[in-house]
Structure 1
Amino acid sequence: YLSPFDEATAHVIDGGYGVFRGEGNTLSPIDVNGYFDSWEDGKESDMRNHSGIGVLYEYVTTQLGFSGFDAGKTMALASFADQFPPEDHFPVPEDHQSSIWLEYRPLVNWIRDNLPKFDASIEEKGAEALLVPFWVNLARQAQELLEKDVLFLTEKAIEKVGSRNLAYSGGVALSCITNRKIFDAGLADNIFVQPSSSDEGIPLGCALMGYYEEGGQNRTVMENSYLGRSGDPSTIPSVIEENGFEYRETTPTEVAKLIAEGNIIGRI
């Protein structure tokens, strides 16, 4: 509904899974596996709910000591993998991609029963203690599995719908590294990621679905999820000075250099 496309493969990946054909203001279910109803090959199905790759990735995130909403930190931790020899820590069934209906609940249970959970409060170095081979490799393995599954599922979805315009959402869609790999793999000509792609976007989707099913016609492209008031640039210096902060003007080049050196900056 919020993409710039007149027709598209609408794809949702998280704990559940969905593929829809998008045409104008209508969405037709092709494959759906969720909590309330399921579809397979365009027909209603009584298939039970599966726990997809989003469930596994979120669980690994909590094993690393983060909140379930901090999946971006798992993605960041995985980026340190080039500093350590690769070593896998959980078993992935060789045939796990034999179907689009991925089921990760047994693997989540295995990780719960067999792998330790990081606790920054008992580590002398706090969260920095994550930067060791075990935890980095745990994040790396989850990230690699996520990327492999997303490419597999996206290819199957586009094959079924037939449109190379990809409108993509679900918590997994917030993995920017994975999204780049979809594009690099040549699976889609155009990609739109709904900015509020995780569970917070569900009420938005429900409202839009109701609007269009009741005959609404207006379409708008959602470019970001920042819906509050924008600040007045002229008030920024006075606000900073009132709070006793020092500041100076800078450039994107200087900011990039400071970040590359490991600094934390506040920029307005």
Structure 2
Amino acid sequence: MLVLGLHKDPWHNTGACAVREDGGKFSIAMLSEERLDRLKDSRAFPHHSAMACLREVGAHAPEECDSIILDHIVNKSDWRKDQFRRSCSNVNFLAEVDQSKIEMINHHLAHACSVFYSSPFSEAAVLVVDGRGSDRETQSLFHATEDGIRLITSTSKIGIGLLYAAVTQAIKFGLLQEGKTMGLAPFGKTNSQLFNFGGRFDGIVTDYEGFCIDGSYDIAHSYEPLDSFEKKADAAFAVQAECERAMLHLARFAKEQTGAKYLCITGGVALNSVSNYRILESGLFEDIFINPAASDTGIPLGCALYGYYTKGGRVREEISPYLGPTYSDAQIEDAINRFDGYEIVRASAVDRAIDLLAANKIVARFEGRSEMGPRALGHRSILMSPLLAENKDVLNARVKFRESFRPFAPIVLEDRASEFFEIDRPCPYMLLIPPVRKEMRSVVPAITHVDGTARLQTVTRERNGNLYDILQVFGERTGVPVLLNTSFNIANEPIVESPVDAIKCFMGTDIDALLIEDILLLKI
């Protein structure tokens, strides 16, 4: 069986996922189009990512697929009018495919499939919270079991996702920049003169219709101009507090409606790691799970897994976060030989890289298949010591070129995470923000945010391979098994994908060294 999941809508984050079962062997690949066309949040038809995913699972053309699953955003009738078919024919991608193999599914159902079928749970409540879905849904609740995923209720009322987007744009951060608002929020304070959101909560509804104008995301009433850093921070503080309030309400509703022990959260709002931690901390559920591609980057995964499990797929398979294409040794060597300006270190390269980190140098890391979603999980990462507070500013000035208020995330050995952070369970995908223990905030100041928290990734050898060894040896040398980890890119560019992308970014910035698999590149 070969299933191809595609996401192509009028908005953003197009991509593909291929799932194959052949002779009992399960294989999967997933990639966002932006990683190949190098356009941040790409809207292009996912032709290149689809072909890369098909090749990764041993196929060569979409005609080989048993099923091709897509989501629909605006409404299904537009596709019936051949709008989508024309889009496909423009790139001649599905021209030879038997049209009976193509199926369109609801956008929120695709979200639900992406999170539940990649979770460790056999039964769970599934909350989908985003901007807009297929038939204008903003928030949906599903109940998922091994027998399938059933919609309980949904709403098209303006929800917390659209509110957060509206305030983000009022702050002048622009489309799809809600992560900046979350980072700015701890710098703000309660300002009763600024906003009155007027949210009405009723079941799955958190309605802000009196505040937002749908579609344009403009603020629908007058307010004080956000003409200073302090007012922007107060606005971010306000919408973050409202987000936490709304998400806790939705979590309680999910518990009441399903009685489930476990909760899956997905949709763009599920990237709000602060709200996720509040839900976990509430004790409503024994555990929660958020897929690292919770935003629309995960829709192709949901489409492909929907097709796989509804059309004959067998036992649930464990889904790694590292689903990008494989790059051969020959491709890596070819990329290294294309450029100059660096020393090539092959012997004891990893040890040399750890020496550099311990000496407070900036080291980029390229390993294996790229991670899904918008956050680097060690395979396409820039690493630095967390021990000096000024490293945040150093990294910003030399490499990232982003706003100074935005925090950097830590990675930590999972078996030692509770020594440094107030967390009692794995946190593998940077989707929870626990407090840094008070006595450790001066030890790891580069990854401690202004409110004393950190967006955490816990690392194991089984899940993260050599990254665990790097952390362990760094910990032996410094006494602190923690590293600062940020995505391997510069502002307004996608995370690097290929070896060539990695070396271009390395040479175009002030990164000190690049560890590309087991080869270290040191600038001359």
Per the normalisation by structure 1, the TM-score is 0.75
Partner of 1:121: none
Pick aligned residue for 1:148 from 221, 233, 245: 245
Give the Å deviation of 1:137. Answer: 0.7
- For the 8 Å contact 1:25–1:217, the answer to whether it is kept is no
Partner of 1:31: 153
Q: 2:340 matched to 1:242?
A: yes
Q: 2:207 matched to 1:100?
A: no
Partner of 1:90: 195
Counterpart CA distance in 2 for 1:228 and 1:252 is 33
Give the Å deviation of 1:130. Answer: 5.2
Counterpart CA distance in 1 for 2:211 and 2:301 is 32
Q: 2:294 matched to 1:197?
A: yes
Look up the equivalent residue of 1:141 and give its one-letter code. A
Aligned-residue identity in percent? 29
Counterpart CA distance in 1 for 2:260 and 2:273 is 22
Pick aligned residue for 1:175 from 268, 272, 288: 272
Unaligned residue ranges in structure 1 (runs of 5+): 34-48, 119-128
- For the 8 Å contact 1:56–1:105, the answer to whether it is kept is no
Counterpart CA distance in 2 for 1:107 and 1:2 is 36
- For the 8 Å contact 1:88–1:138, the answer to whether it is kept is no
Give the Å deviation of 1:85. Answer: 6.0
Counterpart CA distance in 1 for 2:391 and 2:238 is 27
Counterpart CA distance in 1 for 2:190 and 2:143 is 43
Deviations 1:160-212 (A, max 9, x none): 11112111111110011111111111111111101111122223212221222
Q: 2:222 matched to 1:114?
A: yes
Look up the equivalent residue of 1:4 and give its one-letter code. P
Change (3 A) 1:252 1:108: farther
Give the Å deviation of 1:74. Answer: 0.1
- For the 8 Å contact 2:261–2:286, the answer to whether it is kept is yes
Deviations 1:69-108 (A, max 9, x none): 1111000110112xx5644522132x71244322223311
Pick aligned residue for 1:69 from 176, 180, 187: 176
Counterpart CA distance in 2 for 1:225 and 1:146 is 30
Look up the equivalent residue of 2:206 and give its one-letter code. L
SS in 2 for 1:114: coil
Greater helix fraction, Structure 1 or Structure 2: 1
Partner of 2:229: 131
Counterpart CA distance in 2 for 1:99 and 1:7 is 21
Partner of 2:366: none
SS in 1 for 2:205: coil
Counterpart CA distance in 1 for 2:328 and 2:187 is 36
Counterpart CA distance in 1 for 2:359 and 2:151 is 44
Partner of 1:257: 387
Give the Å deviation of 1:257. Answer: 3.0
Give the Å deviation of 1:149. Answer: 0.3
Deviations 1:15-39 (A, max 9, x none): 3111111111510111123xxxxxx
Deviations 1:14-68 (A, max 9, x none): 23111111111510111123xxxxxxxxxxxxxxx22210011011111111132
Counterpart CA distance in 1 for 2:190 and 2:265 is 34
Counterpart CA distance in 2 for 1:189 and 1:260 is 38
SS in 1 for 2:314: coil
Counterpart CA distance in 2 for 1:98 and 1:199 is 26
Q: 2:317 matched to 1:220?
A: yes
Counterpart CA distance in 2 for 1:105 and 1:139 is 19
Counterpart CA distance in 1 for 2:260 and 2:359 is 38
SS in 2 for 1:167: strand
Q: 2:115 matched to 1:8?
A: no
- For the 8 Å contact 1:63–1:117, the answer to whether it is kept is no
Partner of 2:167: 60
Unaligned residue ranges in structure 2 (runs of 5+): 1-116, 132-137, 344-352, 361-383, 396-510, 515-524
- For the 8 Å contact 1:172–1:198, the answer to whether it is kept is yes
Give the Å deviation of 1:112. Answer: 4.2
> Which range moved further: 252-261 or 166-175?
252-261
- For the 8 Å contact 1:58–1:68, the answer to whether it is kept is yes
Per the normalisation by structure 2, the TM-score is 0.40
SS in 1 for 2:278: helix
CA RMSD of aligned residues (A): 3.2
State the aligned residue count.
235
Give the Å deviation of 1:158. Answer: 1.6
Look up the equivalent residue of 1:32 and give its one-letter code. S
- For the 8 Å contact 1:64–1:135, the answer to whether it is kept is yes
Counterpart CA distance in 1 for 2:311 and 2:190 is 56
